[in-house]
Amino acid sequence: MLKSDINLRVRELDTLITLKSSSNGLKASRNLPMMSSVILNNNSSTNPAESLWNNNNCGANLDPFLNSMLNKFQHNLELSLMDTLKSGSNSSNNNDKKVNHNVQDVSLKISEQMSQFKKELRIYEQQKCKEFQLRMEQALAENKKLSNQIVKLRERWDSLVESAKQKRNRQR
């Protein structure tokens, strides 16, 4: 619960930083959204199985590092397009309004495409997660089967040892 609360706060801070940097225009660092996400959002595990077991809603959220990379990509793309649109326009007041409208349209389209891409990526991650769970279940079933065989072989070995001891005792 504490982990999810911290993650929520990190996402809120990341969103706030992104909004603040986009409102400040080009003054903000282009790497700020990614840096804040990577530094603050430190919940990615180095062990995939551990993250699978700790994650109740497997595949429902993107990996934090991947999500921060996608956010950085979207932010940089929007900034580049804004630069291009602003540099291609004249400095007349009418053109500025047109450029601002175009920038908003492009930004909206980018956001829509990125959200669609993230949805598709979540579906892909869910499929991979299901495949991994299936392989884990198969491995656990195989492990159980082999453990049962080991127990049977130990029992058989113990009975052979016991019968050998009894034979030796009878021969004496």
Asked whether residue 145 is domain-assigned, the answer is no
Residue 97: count other Cβ atoms within 10 Å of its Cβ: 10
Asked whether residue 158 is domain-assigned, the answer is no
- Give 35's pLDDT tier (boundaries 50, 70, 90): very low
Asked whether residue 6 is domain-assigned, the answer is yes
Residue 53: CA count within 13 A, CB half-sphere: 6
The mean per-residue pLDDT over the stretch 53-75 comes to: 68
Residue 51: count other Cβ atoms within 10 Å of its Cβ: 14
Asked whether residue 165 is domain-assigned, the answer is no
The mean per-residue pLDDT over the stretch 64-70 comes to: 80
Asked whether residue 162 is domain-assigned, the answer is no
Query: What does the DSSP 8-state code read for residue 118?
Result: H
Measured CA to CA, the distance from residue 2 to residue 4 in angstroms comes to 5
Asked whether residue 170 is domain-assigned, the answer is no
Is the pLDDT score of 21 beyond 70?
Answer: no
> Can you give the pLDDT at residue 82?
76
What one-letter code names the amino acid at 6? I
Asked whether residue 113 is domain-assigned, the answer is yes
From 111, 37, 117, select the one nearest 75 (Cα to Cα): 111
Maximum CA pair distance of the chain? 115
Q: What is the residue-averaged pLDDT of the chain?
A: 74
Is the pLDDT score of 57 beyond 80?
Answer: no
> Can you give the pLDDT at residue 19?
65
> Can you give the pLDDT at residue 49?
47
Asked whether residue 117 is domain-assigned, the answer is yes
- Give 39's pLDDT tier (boundaries 50, 70, 90): very low
What one-letter code names the amino acid at 8? L
Each residue of 131-162: b (16+ CB within 10 Å) or e? eeeeeeeeeeeeeeeeeeeeeeeeeeeeeeee
Domain count, the chain: 1
Measured CA to CA, the distance from residue 15 to residue 23 in angstroms comes to 12
Range of the domain at 123: 2-140
Is the pLDDT score of 80 beyond 70?
Answer: yes
Each residue of 57-89: b (16+ CB within 10 Å) or e? ebbeebbbeebbbbbbebbeebbebbeeebeee
- Give 75's pLDDT tier (boundaries 50, 70, 90): confident
Dump pLDDT digits (tens) for 100-159: 777 777 778 888 888 888 888 888 888 989 999 999 999 999 999 999 999 999 999 999
The mean per-residue pLDDT over the stretch 17-40 comes to: 50
> Can you give the pLDDT at residue 89?
65
- Using a cut of 0.85, tell me whether the model's pTM lies above it: no
